[in-house]
Amino acid sequence: MVSPRTAAAIDRVKASIESEGVLSISGIRKEFPGVLALDDVQLRIRPGTVHALMGENGAGKSTLMKIIAGVYQPDAGEIRLRGQVVVLKSPLDALEQGISMIHQELALMNWMTVAENIWIRREPKNRFGLIDHAEMARMTAELFDRLNIKLDPRAQVSELTVAQKQMVEIAKAVSHNSDVLIMDEPTSALTEREVEHLFAIIRDLRARGIGIVYITHKMNELFEIADEFTVFRDGKYVGTHSAHDVTRDDIIRMMVGREITNMFPKVDCPIGDTILEVRNLTLPGVFHDVSFSLRRGEILGLAGLVGSKRSNVAEALFGVTPAESGQILIDGQEVQIRTPAQAMAHGMAFLTEDRKETGCFLTLDCLENIQSALITRSHVKNGFVQQREVTRLAEEMAQTLRIKTPNLQETVENLSGGNQQKLLIARWLLTKPRILILDEPTRGIDVGAKSEIHRLITELAAQGVAVLMISSELPEVLGMSDRIMVMHEGHVSGFLDRAEADQVKIMSLAAK
Amino acid sequence: MSSQDITARTAPHTQRRLPTEVNILLVLVGIAAVFEILGWIFQGQSFLFSLNRLKIMILQVSVIGIIAVGVTQVIISGGIDLSSGSVVGAVAMVAMSFAQVSTYARAVYPALTDLPMIVPLLIGLGFGAIVGLINGWLIAYTKIPPFIATLGTMVTVRGFAKWYTKGQPISFPTEGFAWIGSGMMPVLIFILVAAIFHVAMKYTRYGKFTYAIGANAQAARVSGIDVERHLIKVYVIAAMLAALAGMVVAARGQTAQAGMGLAYELDAIAMAVIGGVSLNGGRGSILGTAIGMIIFGVIISGFTFLRLDAYYQEMIKGAIVVAAVVADVHRQQKRRKAS
């Protein structure tokens, strides 16, 4: 029997969890070198609810979730779990305190069985101190029964589908008796049926009183599964509302509305004839029936959220990962582009999204970085690079782009992000491209360098270069583009003219 | 005004660094000085000022130095080649079998004796090229790690060397063939090879592409470089240089045995690493490796000079290689912190 006093205490805790939420955070601030990722952010998750997190790319959702899951430490702010202030030192610590995260890239051990993955570090032992596999399988089966998951506990994880792996992760979280479950875009790789099953499980977890944080870009999911939602924008808290009394447009309006500052104004320049035409470009499972055309002097902005496969289209155009069907026409002639070298032969250039991964040669000097694309096609005689001429061209380009480095012999890893980006632009400008594909040309660089790059893109367009510019920053897309193409999950969801485009219209197309 | 941007505005942490080769040269001077001092203390004589000792020292390391020139290119491209020692053994056997004199009654190919020196030389280089093609193809197109691919060819090619004459050594080369290993020839060949590839790595497209692929293969691909084809070239060159080394060894000893060149690949890798070639790829030079080779030679002949037991020498050699890799990792970390 519980004494009246204890019962009263329990009631008080229950009441406080009801009002404060099972998890409540406030004043969270997180700074990375040069970027304020989160600024005075709050969030309150009530038990037995599904709480959706919404926001554009780079709004700070993922950073916040990593803080809640113990991956990052906040620079300031307070995290309360069941009313108590807690410090989450590591993902393991967060897990032990009752917070589970299901990662976008699933974190299971492929070569072990389902049961081994769930009970790792907590394996049941037999009397010899060895792992009792029979007992472990029984415990797993019991857990799966409760969750209505149909999976063989002894199956090897590498054999499972993405959806099944997710089930395993959810079961693992439940087995830890977690109070809070974080799901980061869980449906991005699921079929419709699998999504239904996942939602059934989520509703069941909700009925058990678990607080579920659900990150998504998909509006329809929000209306189907969420009870409440919170919107972030540029690392700031915008608001929390019930999911039952809002419309799509309300949410979009909360998500956009980023301020347009430090933009180099676009100069209108004459647009020439069509240089690139893409018809029904398809890479099965990635993007489908992508068609568009691009004209000389035109800047075509390409907008879309994470998972819209914008970059994959660019990679296909440039032959990095070619498409499987569809046509690419340059100057009206159909061309085959299977390698970057072939794309370059047609006058294309491609500034990739990830400077460090696919752009810079960090261990080499500036000169080598600038000349690498040029010398694949010209300025080589009998195998020898015509270094004097190439160096002169590189120096001129470095001056035109105002690359700040003591000299071109400086190793690139010592340069700032903005200068590295300019260096890569210099690399491609040396090849005198007619079609320039830019994937996030100003990501992660400071404001000054940003507007210089904007000015440069505009100048190139004025010289007749056709530009395809992928960007996650709506102000950049709106400010720079003559036309805007929006993608959603591998499909083109619409085109907008410069005159009619605004942030709400783009987001409506991007977040169907 | 724009030239000012280039010269005047120096970022805070970009003070001019000396080339890595200078540091390695300083290490060489330091080690030589230590042996000189120890020489006067324990042996009562100079270590360095003995022309004969220096000659032997450089001869000892030149053959492996030839291999190291190729291995350096492989490592700069971001790979590794473990097959070079086996190529030495196999090519020694194959080339020698086409280089025998007719006066020797039990030649491998009695009908093919007294051939001009160029014949076994080309056959040996051709054999090396085939091994290199296999290495390069495996690495570039099957995408298996270079370590595994070349470990496989290392074992297979050594097996081939033993099978070739069922383990019998091959001897009695023509004077012409023996010439390439005589006197200071190994040193001359090393210098020639090192000079050619120093120029190739610094001034030709081949060299630029090799560095680019080792620094960032993805970025190299996007720059329009045919990464796969280029890697095959690099492994072919490395294996041909190992083949050349094999023929020099056989010619010098005037005999070929299947076990020749055992563990040479490790010494060659050690020379490159001591010479500042980064095992992560994209960093290092032939000049550095040449200095690394001399450091290697100074240490070995220094120990011999001090009459240190050969067993100790091997153990210390291993420790030096590990120390060089640790130094490389440490340099990388320091750079990462700086940027």
Closest CA to B78 of B291, B236, B279, B285: B279
- The residue that leads in pLDDT, B201 or A170, is B201
Q: Which of A340, A399, A411 is nearest residue B224 as measured by Cβ atoms? A: A340
Q: Which run of H or of E encompasses A343?
A: helix A340-345
Q: Which run of H or of E encompasses A487?
A: strand A483-488
Decide: A308 and A273 in contact? Cβ < 8 Å. Answer: no
Q: Is A387 close to B204, i.e. CB distance below 8 A?
A: no
Closest CA to A490 of A198, A280, A261: A280
Residue B59 CB contacts under 8 Å (≥ 6 apart), including other chains = B184, B186, B187
Burial class (CB in 10 A: 0-12, 13-18, 19+), A173: buried
Residue B66 CA, chain-centre distance (Å), reads 5
> Is B50 in CB contact (< 8 Å) with chain A?
no
Asked if the model's pLDDT at residue B168 lies above 70, the reply is: yes
What is the structure's pLDDT at B231?
Answer: 97
The strand pairing partners of A302, in sequence order, are A470, A485
Asked if the model's pLDDT at residue B6 lies above 60, the reply is: no
Cα B224 to Cα A322, A427, B219: the distances in Å are: 14, 12, 9
> Is B4 in CB contact (< 8 Å) with chain A?
no
Alpha-helical regions (H) of A3-132: 4-20, 61-68, 91-97, 114-118
Cα B197 to Cα B68, B125, B141, B192, B298: the distances in Å are: 11, 17, 26, 9, 24
Interface residue of A344, A375, A387, A420 to substitute, partner B, most B CBs within 10 Å: A375
pLDDT bracket for residue A296 (50, 70, 90): very high
What is the structure's pLDDT at B218?
Answer: 95
The strand pairing partners of A351, in sequence order, are A438
- Summarize pLDDT for A415-427 with one digit per residue, the tens: 888 889 999 999 9
Chain position carrying tokens 């440069």: A456
Q: Is B222 close to A318, i.e. CB distance below 8 A?
A: yes
Query: Nearest CA to CA, how far is B6 from chain A (Å)?
Result: 5
DSSP string, A285-322: TTEEEEEEEEETT-EEEEEE-TTS-HHHHHHHHTTSS-
3-state SS, chain B, equals: CHHHHHHCCCCCCCCCCCCHHHHHHHHHHHHHHHHHHHHHHHHCCCCCCCHHHHHHHHHHHHHHHHHHHHHHHHHHCCCCCCCHHHHHHHHHHHHHHCCECCCCCCCCCCCCCCCCCHHHHHHHHHHHHHHHHHHHHHHHHCCCCHHHHHHHHHHHHHHHHHHHCCCCCEECECHHHHHCCCCCHHHHHHHHHHHHHHHHHHHEHHHHHHHHHHHCHHHHHHCCCCHHHHHHHHHHHHHHHHHHHHHHHHHHHCEECCCCCCCHHHHHHHHHHHCCCCCCCCCCCHHHHHHHHHHHHHHHHHHHHCCCCHHHHHHHHHHHHHHHHHHHHHHHHHHHHHC
> Is B205 in CB contact (< 8 Å) with chain A?
yes
Query: Nearest CA to CA, how far is B339 from chain A (Å)?
Result: 5
Measured between beta carbons, which residues in chain B are less than 8 angstroms from residue A398? 6
Q: Is B223 close to A340, i.e. CB distance below 8 A?
A: yes
Which residue does chain B place closest to A431, by CA atoms? B223
Measured between beta carbons, which residues in chain A are less than 8 angstroms from residue B237? none
A100: left (phi > 0), else alpha (psi -120 to 50), else beta? beta
Other CB atoms within a 10 A radius of the CB of residue A211 amount to: 25
Decide: A433 and A350 in contact? Cβ < 8 Å. Answer: no
Per CATH, domain B20-38+51-334 is 1.10.3470: yes
Interface residue of A414, A423, A428 to substitute, partner B, most B CBs within 10 Å: A414
pLDDT bracket for residue A195 (50, 70, 90): confident
Q: What is the DSSP letter of A441?
A: T
Q: What is the mean pLDDT of residues B291-303?
A: 93
Q: Radius of gyration over alpha carbons of chain B, in Å?
A: 22
Q: What is the mean pLDDT of residues A250-273?
A: 74
Measured between beta carbons, which residues in chain A are less than 8 angstroms from residue B3? 399
Q: What is the pTM of this model?
A: 0.81
What is the structure's pLDDT at A185?
Answer: 82
Asked if the model's pLDDT at residue A510 lies above 80, the reply is: yes
- Summarize pLDDT for B12-67 with one digit per residue, the tens: 344 456 778 898 999 999 999 999 999 999 888 888 888 999 999 999 999 999 99
Interface residue of B6, B10, B18, B332 to substitute, partner A, most A CBs within 10 Å: B6
Chain position carrying tokens 């769930």: A118
Q: What is the DSSP letter of A358?
A: I
What is the structure's pLDDT at A2?
Answer: 58
Q: Among the ranges A27-41, A249-263, B281-295, which has the highest mean pLDDT value?
A: B281-295
Decide: A315 and A341 in contact? Cβ < 8 Å. Answer: no
Q: Which run of H or of E encompasses A330?
A: strand A325-330
Interface residue of A320, A364, A419 to substitute, partner B, most B CBs within 10 Å: A364
Q: Which of A357, A358, A361 is nearest residue B282 as measured by Cβ atoms? A: A361
Residue A420 CB contacts under 8 Å (≥ 6 apart), including other chains = A355, A359, A360, A412
**Phi and psi of A508, rounded to 5°?**
-60, -40
> Could you give the CA distance from residue B187 to residue A364 in angstroms, rounded to a whole number?
31
Q: What is the DSSP letter of A440?
A: S
What is the structure's pLDDT at A85?
Answer: 92
Burial class (CB in 10 A: 0-12, 13-18, 19+), B136: buried
Residue A315 CB contacts under 8 Å (≥ 6 apart), including other chains = A321, A350
- The residue that leads in pLDDT, B162 or A403, is B162
Q: What is the mean pLDDT of residues A2-17?
A: 67
Q: What is the DSSP letter of A131?
A: B
Q: Is B6 close to A399, i.e. CB distance below 8 A?
A: yes
> Could you give the CA distance from residue A461 to residue A436 in angstroms, rounded to a whole number?
9
Asked if the model's pLDDT at residue A395 lies above 50, the reply is: yes
Decide: A349 and A373 in contact? Cβ < 8 Å. Answer: yes
For the ranges A10-19, A48-57, A375-384, B141-150, which has the lowest average pLDDT? Answer: A10-19
- The residue that leads in pLDDT, A2 or B240, is B240
For the ranges A39-43, A356-360, A367-371, A412-416, which has the lowest average pLDDT? Answer: A412-416
Strand-pair category, A348-351 with A23-32 = unpaired
The angle formed by the CA atoms of residues B127, B132 and B137, to the nearest 5 degrees, is: 130
Q: Which run of H or of E encompasses A483?
A: strand A483-488
Q: Is B6 close to A352, i.e. CB distance below 8 A?
A: no
Asked if the model's pLDDT at residue A161 lies above 90, the reply is: no
Exposed e or buried b per residue across A113-122, where buried means at least 16 C-beta atoms within 10 angstroms of its C-beta: bbbbbbbeee
What is the structure's pLDDT at B319?
Answer: 87
What is the structure's pLDDT at B255?
Answer: 95
Q: What is the mean pLDDT of residues B100-122?
A: 93
Q: What is the mean pLDDT of chain B?
A: 91
- Summarize pLDDT for A468-487 with one digit per residue, the tens: 999 988 888 998 999 999 99
Asked if the model's pLDDT at residue A104 lies above 70, the reply is: no
Q: Is A407 close to B7, i.e. CB distance below 8 A?
A: yes
Which residue does chain A place closest to B216, by CA atoms? A361
Closest CA to B261 of B56, B61, B57, B64: B64
Query: Nearest CA to CA, how far is B229 from chain A (Å)?
Result: 13
Amino acid (1-letter code) at residue B254: Q
- Summarize pLDDT for A118-160 with one digit per residue, the tens: 998 889 998 898 999 999 999 999 999 988 888 999 999 988 8
What is the structure's pLDDT at A15?
Answer: 64
What is the structure's pLDDT at A148?
Answer: 86
Asked if the model's pLDDT at residue B163 lies above 80, the reply is: yes
Q: Which two tokens stand for residue A34?
A: 């040069």
% of chain A at pLDDT higher than 70: 94
- Summarize pLDDT for B170-195 with one digit per residue, the tens: 999 999 999 999 999 999 999 999 99
What is the structure's pLDDT at B154?
Answer: 97
Decide: B194 and B280 in contact? Cβ < 8 Å. Answer: no
Domains and CATH numbers, chain A: 17-255 (3.40.50.300), 274-510 (3.40.50.300)
Closest CA to B26 of B295, B209, B222, B309: B295
The A274-283 sheet, strands edge to edge: A287-295, A274-283, A325-330, A333-335
Q: What is the DSSP letter of A75?
A: S
pLDDT bracket for residue A24 (50, 70, 90): very high
Query: Nearest CA to CA, how far is B14 from chain A (Å)?
Result: 7
Q: Which two tokens stand for residue A392?
A: 């002169």
> Is A410 in CB contact (< 8 Å) with chain B?
yes
Decide: B204 and A384 in contact? Cβ < 8 Å. Answer: yes
> Is A418 in CB contact (< 8 Å) with chain B?
no
Q: How many A×B Cβ pairs under 8 Å?
A: 123
Decide: A512 and A219 in contact? Cβ < 8 Å. Answer: yes
Measured between beta carbons, which residues in chain A are less than 8 angstroms from residue B211? 361, 364, 368
Let me know how long chain A is.
512
For the ranges A247-256, A291-300, B303-312, which has the lowest average pLDDT? Answer: A247-256
Which residue does chain B place closest to A314, by CA atoms? B222
> Is B332 in CB contact (< 8 Å) with chain A?
no
pLDDT bracket for residue B332 (50, 70, 90): confident
Q: What is the mean pLDDT of chain A?
A: 89
> Could you give the CA distance from residue A245 to residue B95 in angstroms, rounded to a whole number?
86
Q: Which two tokens stand for residue A441?
A: 């040309």
pLDDT bracket for residue B236 (50, 70, 90): very high
**Phi and psi of A394, rounded to 5°?**
-65, -40
Measured between beta carbons, which residues in chain B are less than 8 angstroms from residue A320? 221-222
Exposed e or buried b per residue across A325-342, where buried means at least 16 C-beta atoms within 10 angstroms of its C-beta: ebebebeeeeeebebbbb
Asked if the model's pLDDT at residue A436 lies above 70, the reply is: yes
Q: Among the ranges A140-154, A345-359, B34-48, B233-247, which has the highest mean pLDDT value?
A: B233-247
The strand pairing partners of B171, in sequence order, are B255
Measured between beta carbons, which residues in chain B are less than 8 angstroms from residue A402? 2, 5
- 3-state secondary structure at position A99: strand
Q: What is the mean pLDDT of residues B198-221?
A: 96
Domain ranges of chain B: 20-38+51-334
Q: What is the mean pLDDT of residues B299-324?
A: 86
- Summarize pLDDT for A196-248 with one digit per residue, the tens: 888 999 999 999 899 999 988 778 888 899 999 999 988 889 999 998 888 88
Which residue does chain A place closest to B5, by CA atoms? A404
What is the structure's pLDDT at A423?
Answer: 94
Four-CA torsion B178, B58, B289, B332, nearest 10 degrees: 140
What is the structure's pLDDT at A475?
Answer: 84
> Could you give the CA distance from residue A113 to residue A158 in angstroms, rounded to a whole number?
9
Interface residue of A339, A358, A378, A436 to substitute, partner B, most B CBs within 10 Å: A358
Which residue does chain A place closest to B13, by CA atoms? A414
Q: Is B212 close to A400, i.e. CB distance below 8 A?
A: no
> Is B220 in CB contact (< 8 Å) with chain A?
yes
Q: Is B212 close to A364, i.e. CB distance below 8 A?
A: yes
The strand pairing partners of A487, in sequence order, are A304, A492
